[in-house]
Structures are given as structure tokens and as C-alpha cells.
Amino acid sequence: MMQRRMFEHVDVDLGYNDLSAKTTEQGRRYVTPEGNKYPSVTTVVSILTEHHIREWRNRVGEEEANRISRHASARGTKVHDVLERYLKNDEDYLDKCNPVVVSNVNSVVPVLNEHIGKVYAQEFALYSDHLGLAGRVDCIAEWDGRLAVIDFKTAKKHKKKEWIENYFIQESAYAIMWEERTGVPIVDLVTVIAVDYDEPQVFIEHRDNWAPKLIETINEYKQRKG
């Protein structure tokens, strides 16, 4: 039996409980408490991979691409949900999980046990008037004693850093949103990737190395989409 940890949770009052959102032809939009409608950071950052995804879909065909995408999305969502339950100290966090998900989660749990301290937010909607963006962050927690944006991903094989720069750009947005909403700065961006039947990957980046690219991406999105 894998050793369990009990995580301490910190209540953070941001002045709102959640943000309403809906998916439009232009992507996902969130409505802030002030009534502003901001695109999701996922929608904005997705322009960085549009070309590669289009090429891949053309190469494998629409039907196969849709099948692979559905499978990857479902698996990623399940692993994310289970890790969220684990951090919430749910005793039955592995209930009704298939073997791949169990393997993914079990590979990541020792990493979480070793590095994560107090947990401040999970799956919480954030927004920034400065950036004109909103989104739902996976986790805000202490990582080796420092507050960090923590993002959970899944992969069939190990990824090179240059393949996943869009992850770091998106995480830098969440760090800026958190500081704007709370006044507490976050500079550490942690990406934890559960790899099928292999050791997980952990990438730790500094917010300020990716914030300029975030601003460039926002400006490019506005030029493309209006």
C-alpha cells in the first residue's frame, strides 16, 4: 500500500466563489464579477499550436484525430481529477480507475508527497484585468516551501522542454492572475507530467522567463481573432 499524506489546506478569500463561463465560436469566455468577458488563457495560448495540430490532423485523418483526441482528453481529465482528490485527502481517490490511470497516479503521488506543502487553491477560476484573461488553475500550493502554480499533465512518452513551452506560458498567466487577485507574488511554475508506465517528469520554471512570451501571445491572439 502506498504511503498516504494528509495535506493542509489554506482558505483564501478572493471575493468571489467562481466565474461563469461558456464556450463560443471564438473559444471559452469567462465573465468576471465586474461583468468583463475575458477569453480563457487556454484559448489564447492555443494559437501557438494551431499550425502543428492542423498538420497532424491532416496527416492522420479527421476520424483518427478525433478518436485520439477524445481518448487523450478523457485520460488527462481522469488523472487530473484523481490527483485533485488525492490532494483533498480523499481516501477513495483511486476508486473506479482503469490500470493506466492507476499507474499514472501512483507514479506521481510520491512526487507530491515529497514536494507539496500547504494547498491554497485547486481548480479555481482566476482572472486578470491587466492581461484581459481568465482561466481555471490546476493547483496553487507550496512546492519545496515556496508558493507555486502547479499544473498536472499526462503523456504517452517523455517530452522535451521545447515541446511544451505553451504549458509554461499558460502557467505564467495564472501566476500573474493570482498576484493581481491576492497581492501575493508567485514566481515558481511547476509542471508535473504523468508518463505512461514510466517515471514522471517535473519541470520547474520562473514566471518572469515566460511572461514576455505570454504578452506576445496575447497581442498575436488579438491581431488574429479581433
The reported pLDDT for the residue numbered 121 is: 96
- In the predicted structure, residue 165 carries a pLDDT above the cut 90: yes
DSSP letter for each residue of the chain: -PPP----B-----S-S--EEEEETTEEEEE-TTS-EEEBHHHHHGGGTHHHHHHHHHHH-HHHHHHHHHHHHHHHHHHHHHHHHHHTT-TTTTTT--HHHHHHHHHHHHHHHHHEEEEEEEEEEEEETTTTEEEEEEEEEEETTEEEEEEEEEESS---GGG-HHHHHHHHHHHHHHHHHHS----EEEEEEEETTS--EEEEEEHHHHHHHHHHHHHHHHHHH-
Comparing 54 with 85, the larger pLDDT belongs to 85
Q: What is the pLDDT of residue 2?
A: 57
Neighbours of 213 (CB within 10 A): 16
Whichever domain contains 194, its CATH number is 3.40.1350.10
In a domain, 6, yes or no: no
pLDDT in tens, 114-129: 999 999 999 999 999 9
Range of 70's domain? 24-225
- Is 3 contained in some domain? no
The verdict on residue 17 lying in a domain is: no
Long-range interactions of 206-214: CB distance < 8 A, separation 24+: 207/149, 207/171, 207/172, 207/175, 207/176, 209/168, 210/165, 210/168, 210/169, 210/171, 210/172, 211/172, 211/176, 213/165, 213/169, 213/172, 214/45, 214/131, 214/169, 214/172, 214/173, 214/176
Tell me, yes or no, whether 129 lies in a domain: yes
Q: At 3, is the pLDDT very low, low, confident or very high (cuts 50, 70, 90)?
A: low
Band (1; pLDDT cuts 50, 70, 90) = very low
Does 53 have pLDDT greater than 70? yes
Q: What is the pLDDT of residue 158?
A: 94
How confident is the prediction for the chain on average, in pLDDT? 91
Would you place residue 52 in the very low, low, confident or very high pLDDT band (cuts 50, 70, 90)?
A: confident
Number of structural domains (the chain) is: 1
How buried is residue 34: exposed, middle or buried, by Cβ count under 10 Å (0-12/13-18/19+)? Answer: exposed
Instruction: Examine residue 4 and state whether it is found in any structural domain, yes or no.
Output: no
- Model-level pTM? 0.92
Q: Is a pLDDT exceeding 70 seen at residue 216?
A: yes
pLDDT of residue 8: 96
Task: Work out the pLDDT band at 197, boundaries 50, 70, 90.
Answer: confident
Please name every residue paired with 146 in a beta bridge, in sequence order, or none if there are none: 143
Higher pLDDT, 68 or 1: 68
Please check whether residue 54 lies inside any domain of the structure.
yes
At 212 the pLDDT is 97
pLDDT of residue 161: 95
Q: Cβ neighbours of residue 195 under 8 Å, at least 6 residues apart?
A: 104, 107, 154, 155, 156, 157, 158, 201
167-186: pLDDT as tens digits = 999 999 999 999 999 999 99
Residue 167, in any domain of the structure? yes
| pLDDT tens track for 55-110 | 767 777 878 767 777 877 777 888 989 999 999 999 889 888 888 889 999 999 99
pLDDT at residue 65, as a whole number: 67
Across the range 28-41, mean pLDDT stands at 94
159 lies in some domain? yes
